[in-house]
């Protein structure tokens, strides 16, 4: 029996419903108190007694008579419905997740001719610099869900392969299809930084990050790297510079593979350090894929992905139909009351 009553009450008032202003229900007995305390017009004046009231009731009986007799109760019901509407019944709507607001980030990857130098260890194999960079950056993208990332490649000039987007699969595909020499064989380092700054202007200032990977010295381009760094500093773009290469390379002499030591003179570390320092970023050096992976892991720690906010259930108001119902009941009660007086 108790379970039946509980189920009936839950159907009558679902558990996710509530009253915003429950104190308005205290107004329900006010009308009754006013009716009891204020002088009633029914006691004023003289009434004419009719000796056969029952006969008169039968003459005026029927459905209209029943409605006229219940007109006061309709007024009371209208008042109760109005008070419930004033208490603002609400229910919780379906959960809504706030929009993603991850960081806006640009990746700039060097595709100059030297990026095909096979001096990077990847697992048990020696691969060229671009192959190692692709593997590490692809893993980096896998951990940046929620961010909006774009891709710039540069050689003789810099251009955008993927605009800033939340579709990281597209960025990953464009990176996978990139080949050495696509934008030329030189290194337009300054142009790549300037282009990244230009694209990041559409991102909120506190979220602008450019990660630039190169293995050489600026040998072409319109803008000098330090001048581009000044533009990044003004725009509030943090530039993380990564120098790759300089490990052991595999060379073949008369068909015999020979391991050759790498050198550090290929990478302009002084310029990359200065660019990072001017913009509030960091400079890193990677001689193999393991070091490169650690560098991107460090950048991920410094620029963490923003966690999505908690789901919100909006409150839906339900007092509108109650107001209409109360208004209809009041109109009906007054109409029947006037009909009773005319009768």
- The bridge status of strand 208-214 relative to strand 104-110 is parallel
The per-residue pLDDT for 252 is 44
The per-residue pLDDT for 318 is 77
Which residue in 81, 209, 207 sits closest to 152, CA to CA? 209
- φ, ψ (nearest 5 deg) of residue 154: -145, 150
Three-state helix/strand/coil letters over the chain: CHHHHHHHHHHHCCCCEEECCHHHHHHHHHHHHHHHHCCCHHHCCCCCCCCCHHHHHHHCCCHHHHHHHCHHHHHHHHHHHHHHHHCCEEEECCCECCCCCCCEEEEEEECCHHHHCCCEEECCEEECHHHHHHHHHHHHHHCCCCCEEEEEEECCCEEEEEEEECCHHHHHHHHHHCCCCCCCCCCCHHHHHHHHHHHHCCCCHHHEEEEEEECCCCCCCCCCHHHHHHHHHHHCCEEEEEEECCCCEEEEECCEEEEECCCCCCCCHHHHHHHHHHHCCCEEEECCHHHHHHHHHHHHHHCCCCCCCCCECCEEECHHHHHHHHHHHHHHHHHHHHHHHHC
The per-residue pLDDT for 264 is 45
Distance CA 112, CA 133 (A): 13
All structural domains of the chain: 14-34+56-93+315-342 (no CATH), 104-302 (3.40.50.410)
Instruction: Give, rounded to a whole angstrom, the gap between the first and last alpha carbons of the chain.
Output: 48
Distance CA 61, CA 298 (A): 90
Q: Would you write out the chain's pLDDT as a tens digit for each of its 343 residues?
A: 445 544 544 455 556 677 777 887 787 777 777 667 766 544 444 455 545 545 445 544 444 555 555 566 777 787 888 888 888 888 777 766 555 556 788 999 999 988 998 888 888 888 899 999 999 999 998 888 778 899 999 999 999 999 999 899 999 999 999 999 888 888 899 999 999 999 999 888 888 999 999 987 888 889 999 999 999 999 999 999 999 986 554 444 334 444 444 444 478 899 999 999 999 999 999 888 888 889 888 888 888 766 555 666 677 787 778 778 777 777 777 776 655 555 5
CA distances from 118 to 115, 175, 192 (A): 8, 19, 24
Alpha-carbon 249 to chain mean position: 46
The per-residue pLDDT for 253 is 37
Q: Annotate 96-115 with b (16+ C-beta within 10 A) or e (fewer).
A: eeeeeebbbbbbbbbbbebb
CA atoms lying within 13 Å on the CB side of residue 243 = 23
The per-residue pLDDT for 338 is 59
257 exposure class (CB count in 10 Å sphere: 0-12, 13-18, 19+): exposed
């Amino acid at each position: 029996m108790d379970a039946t009553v509980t189920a009936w009450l839950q159907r009558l008032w679902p558990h996710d419903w509530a009253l915003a202003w429950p104190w308005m229900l205290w107004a329900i007995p006010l009308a009754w108190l006013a009716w009891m305390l204020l002088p009633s017009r029914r006691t004023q004046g003289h009434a004419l007694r009719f000796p056969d009231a029952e006969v008169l009731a039968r003459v005026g009986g029927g459905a209209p008579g029943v409605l006229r007799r219940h007109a006061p109760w309709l007024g009371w019901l209208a008042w109760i419905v109005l008070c419930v509407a004033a208490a603002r019944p609400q229910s919780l709507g379906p959960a809504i997740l706030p929009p993603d607001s991850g960081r806006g980030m640009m990746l700039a990857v060097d595709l100059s001719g030297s990026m095909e130098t096979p001096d990077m260890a990847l697992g048990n194999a020696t691969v060229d610099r671009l192959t190692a960079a692709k593997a590490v950056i692809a893993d980096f993208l896998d951990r940046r869900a929620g961010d909006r990332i774009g891709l710039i490649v540069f050689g003789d000039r810099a251009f955008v392969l993927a605009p800033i987007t939340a579709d990281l699969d597209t960025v990953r595909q464009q990176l996978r299809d990139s080949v050495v020499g696509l934008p030329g064989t030189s290194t337009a380092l300054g142009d790549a930084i300037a282009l990244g700054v230009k694209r990041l202007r559409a991102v909120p200032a506190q979220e602008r990050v450019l990660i630039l990977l190169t293995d050489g010295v600026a040998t072409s381009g319109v803008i000098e790297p330090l001048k581009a760094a000044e533009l990044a500093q003004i725009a509030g773009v943090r530039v993380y510079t990564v120098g790759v290469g300089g490990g052991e390379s595999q060379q073949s002499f008369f068909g015999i593979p020979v391991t050759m030591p790498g050198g550090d003179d290929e990478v302009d570390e002084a310029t990359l350090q200065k660019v990072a320092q001017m913009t509030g970023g960091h400079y890193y050096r990677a001689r193999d894929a393991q070091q490169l992976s650690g560098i991107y892991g460090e950048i991920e720690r410094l620029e963490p992905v923003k966690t999505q906010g908690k789901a919100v259930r909006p409150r839906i108001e339900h007092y509108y139909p109650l107001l209409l119902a109360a208004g209809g009941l009041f109109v009906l009660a007054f109409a029947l009351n006037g009909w009773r007086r005319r009768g």
